[in-house]
Amino acid sequence: EVLLPALYEEEEEEEEEEVEEEEEQVQKGGSVGSLSVNKHRGLSLTETELEELRAQVLQLVAELEETRELAGQHEDDSLELQGLLEDERLASAQQAEVFTKQIQQLQGELRSLREEISLLEHEKESELKEIERELHLAQAEIQSLRQAAEDSATEHESDIASLQEDLCRMQNELEDMERIRGDYEMEIASLRAEMEMKSSEPSSSLGLSDYSGLQEELQELRERYHFLNEEYQALQESNNSLMGQLADLESERTQRATERWLQSQTLSMTSAESQTSEMDFLEPDPEMQLLRQQLRDAEEQMHGMKNKCQELCCELEELQHHREVSEEEQRRLQRELKCAQNEVLQFQTSHSVTQSSPTPDPPIFSLPLVGLVVISALLWCWWAETSS
């Protein structure tokens, strides 16, 4: 491309030289013609003039030959220059074609790069929108978790208060039961002592009517005992069912607390991952830091509630242990009652042997036994009501 103007200038100079040579040849031809005309016209010229004319003609012929040689040389030079020019034109055309292909390739690459840039910008915008949407969802989830934590805290506080009230009530009932049990043991001991004293005394002070009345009263007390025993069994079953329901509620509450804690942990992990992905696009936001701090506070509050639930479960286990102890005490009293009943039966069998006498009298210690049975039945009723 740099050589083309120089070649064009050389071609123009060569063409101008050729035109000048042709004009000179025309001028020389005109001079030769004029000489011939003058020769024909002036045959009467002198010999010296003729010699001069011949010398001029020879000079002109020599100049013409030189001009022809120069023209041939210029023509060869022009042909050589035309070949070089043609080669340069071909090379420049090939180079231009190569440049055109390279330009087209670069333009295609530029278009592809622009398309990729537009796609990346679109993806970036979509990712930013997705991150903003996830951020809003995370904020809403944090708000819901915060509300759920507050609700669960309120619920657990109310449950703790109710359980503490129940604990105090059951402790008071256990103390009352221990006191009543002590009273009953003292009364049973006194009744046994009285029975032992009465068994050594003669039994001729009561009549047959009193004995039959005592027998009827004893039968009524037995029926009452069976009825109270059945009612006690029903209350025991209802108590067991209520304890099972309480255990199910405790397990369900623990499971819900665990699920909430796992959800909070998952949300914290997803928020951390979204934070790492947002570092290339967004700057740190103080609102996000505040939300993360609030999330950590909610998690700590959930841990505290979980510990409180575990403490309440321990207290519940202690209450169940006290209940088992009271049931064992109830079974012991029941065994003592059976022993008393066996003593009554032994007394009846021993009395039936001596019943053939004209004035048979029942033993005087039947009334304390009846009182013992009544007290035991009342104790069972009271314990069944308190345990339900």
pLDDT tens profile 85-98: 899 889 989 989 99
Q: Domain of 90?
A: 3-120
Q: Is the pLDDT of residue 106 over 80?
A: yes
C-alpha to C-alpha distance for 168 and 330, rounded to whole angstroms = 22
Q: Residue 385: which of 248, 256, 200, 236 has the closest Cα? A: 236
Least confident of 6-15, 87-96, 101-110, 219-228: 6-15
Q: Per the domain annotation, does 69 fall within a domain?
A: yes
Spatial separation of the C-alpha atoms in residues 119 and 113, rounded to whole Å: 10
Q: Please report, as a single letter, which amino acid is at residue 132.
A: E
Q: Which of 349, 259, 350 is nearest to 306 (CA)?
A: 259
Q: How far apart are CA 39 and CA 52, in angstroms?
A: 13
Q: What is the mean pLDDT of residues 314-343?
A: 73
What confidence category does residue 365 fall into, taking pLDDT thresholds of 50, 70 and 90? very low
- Structural domain includes residue 321: no
Three-class DSSP category at 387: helix
| Stretch (H or E) spanning 181 | helix 47-200
Total number of domains in the chain:
1
The closest alpha carbon to 208, from 31, 333, 359, 364, belongs to: 359
Read off the pLDDT of each residue in 139-168 and give the average, rounded to a whole number: 78
> Which tokens go with 66?
């030189």
The answer as to whether 9 is a domain residue is yes
Q: Please report whether residue 82 resides in a domain.
A: yes
Q: Could you tell me the sign of the dihedral formed by the alpha carbons of 340, 341, 345, 348, in that order? A: positive
Least confident of 69-78, 320-329, 375-384: 375-384
Q: pLDDT tens across 261-284, in order?
A: 767 666 666 665 555 555 444 444
Is the Cβ–Cβ distance between 283 and 324 less than 8 Å? Answer: no
Region 292-310: mean pLDDT is 69
